[in-house]
Amino acid sequence: MVELKLGTDLLARARAALPGGVSSPVRAFGAVEGDPPFVVRGQGASLFDAQGREHIDLVCSWGPLILGHAHPAVLDAVQRALRDGLTFGATCAAEVELAERVLKRYPFAERVRFTSSGTEATMGALRLARGATGRDRVVKFDGCYHGHFDALLVKGGSGLATFGTPSSAGVPQATTAMTDVLPLDDEHAARALFAQKGSEIALVVIEPMPANAGLLLQRQAFLETLSELCSEHGALLMFDEVISGFRVAPGGMTERSGITPDLVAVGKILGGGMPVGAFLGPAQLMEQLAPNGPVYHAGTLSGNPVAMAAGMATLDTLEQPGTYERLEQLGAHLQRGWEAALVASGTPGSVARMGSVLWLCLQEGETPRAFHRIEAAGAERYGQMHARLLEQRVWMAPSAYEVAFVYTAHDEAQLDRAAAALAQALSAP
Ligand code: PMP
């Protein structure tokens, strides 16, 4: 079959040209059975592979595509923007407009600095926090991922956990000597660290909805404790909302929790599928960035006009009445379907969910809230199940530590098919 040859050839060529055949490691199917199919097209909630097969997509490009693939409003906006050119190297009107839309959704903040990725957003924000406080120490949480830069590439969840690497080679110890890692869901450990080093801590960074090591939903009281500890000790608090921003509410977890952090990092949905990140906060803090302040941060393609257009169209479409309610309904529908599949197949497990973000947790007992409570056996079960799901054209992340997303483009019938496929995949001997 000609198409099959195309797929096979592409995989061999990819592996010869790209390390591991990929540009980002978890895509490589290292922790699941089989080879990754090549995607040639996305439409709505479907992905089409090089062999012409249609898959129900629950990966959502790992978070950015909340409206579905090739959404007409986003494509129109991009097409209109690109007629005027791809990049100007000067501030453009779209940048101002997108920043205003972001500030409307995050009213605690007064300034936005755009970047080209989530990694750059958290990296810039950490430098700003250190510059503003005159302190060096940063606190992160085991299982939370904040991008692939040195200072925060410690115990970072999925990409690292999938391959059993606690951290990365090539990160000098001196770089992470100022990074402390705490367990999630543990006020006692946070208090103990602050008692010891509170006056040295520049920043506490957390995914307020940790979604890079399964979905480790945190208690409100835990997030509040962090906020209080930071205030007491003069440290800054950053919510990394690269996944939760614009997804779990227009103002993400900041809105849902009612807690006011000092900084927020966003990305993914903000670019509607184009490479965009941003960090935001009050003027007094953000104006310490260059050119007004001493903290340097820059980017050749930051605030790119085409990417800004994709982000605006995405946020505007999300703002239409009933959109978040619909995402909640669809998320709840898939959760019920998955729970029924677990019961029907007699598989120990549970489903964690917040809005349109779901995690299938294949272990007994309560759904964990901390990384060290995730059992390795679940990952093995997931690896086998993943291949069977793919055979039934259900596209889930090739890692037990990744969450699934639903789109506004999904419908109940597709989600029922995805749940039925799961029941079958889990029942197979
Ligand atoms: N923070 C969080 C919470 C993320 O999930 C990610 C990416 N998955 C990042 C930061 C880094 O974003 P990017 O991959 O765009 O650099």
- Sequence-distant (6+) residues with CB within 8 A of 415 are 330, 333, 334, 337, 406
Ligand 1 pocket check for 240: Cβ under 6 Å: yes
d(CA 340, CA 323): 26
Pairing of strands 179-182, 137-141: parallel
Could you give all domains of the chain from N- to C-terminal order, each with its CATH number?
10-62+321-427 (3.90.1150.10), 72-318 (3.40.640.10)
Tokens, residue 151:
């200072």
d(CA 343, CA 348): 8
Residue 1: per-residue pLDDT: 39
Mean pLDDT of 33-39: 91
Host H or E run for residue 263 = strand 263-266
d(CA 395, CA 250): 27
Among the options 106, 145, 382, 407, which is catalytic? 145
Ligand 1 pocket check for 207: Cβ under 6 Å: yes
Give the burial class of 291: count Cβ atoms within 10 A of its Cβ; 0-12 exposed, 13-18 middle, 19 or more buried: exposed
Nearest one of 373, 426, 374, 419 to 400, comparing CA atoms: 374
User: The pTM is what?
Assistant: 0.96
Nearest one of 409, 310, 354 to 66, comparing CA atoms: 409
Q: What DSSP letter does each residue of 119-172 carry, written as one string?
A: HHHHHHHHHHHHHHHT--EEEEETT----SSGGG-BS-SHHHHHTT-SB-TT--
Mean pLDDT of 292-306: 97
For the question of residue 145 being annotated catalytic, the response is yes
Q: Is the pLDDT assigned to residue 4 strictly greater than 50?
A: no
Q: How far is the CA of 335 from the centre of ligand 1 (A)?
A: 24
Pairing of strands 46-49, 39-43: antiparallel
For the question of residue 57 being annotated catalytic, the response is no
Q: How far is the CA of 141 from the centre of ligand 1 (A)?
A: 15
Instruction: Give the pLDDT band (50/70/90) at residue 161.
Output: low
For residues 289 and 173, which has the higher predicted lDDT (pLDDT)?
Answer: 289
Q: Give the mean pLDDT of the chain.
A: 94
Q: Is the pLDDT assigned to residue 3 strictly greater than 60?
A: no
Residue 304: per-residue pLDDT: 98
d(CA 235, CA 286): 16
SS (HEC) of 389-425: HHHCCEECCCCCCCCEECCCCCCHHHHHHHHHHHHHH
Task: Please tell me the residue having the least CA distance from ligand 1 atom 12.
Answer: 118
Among the options 49, 180, 240, 262, which is catalytic? 240
For the question of residue 268 being annotated catalytic, the response is yes
Q: Which DSSP letter does residue 175 get?
A: H
Q: How far is the CA of 204 from the centre of ligand 1 (A)?
A: 17
Give the burial class of 177: count Cβ atoms within 10 A of its Cβ; 0-12 exposed, 13-18 middle, 19 or more buried: exposed
Ligand 1 pocket check for 118: Cβ under 6 Å: yes
Instruction: Give the pLDDT band (50/70/90) at residue 8.
Output: low
- When mean pLDDT is compared across 167-171, 282-286, 308-312, the lowest value belongs to 167-171
Q: Is the pLDDT assigned to residue 158 strictly greater than 80?
A: no
Residues, the chain: 429
Please state the atom number of ligand 1 nearest to the C-alpha of residue 275: 15
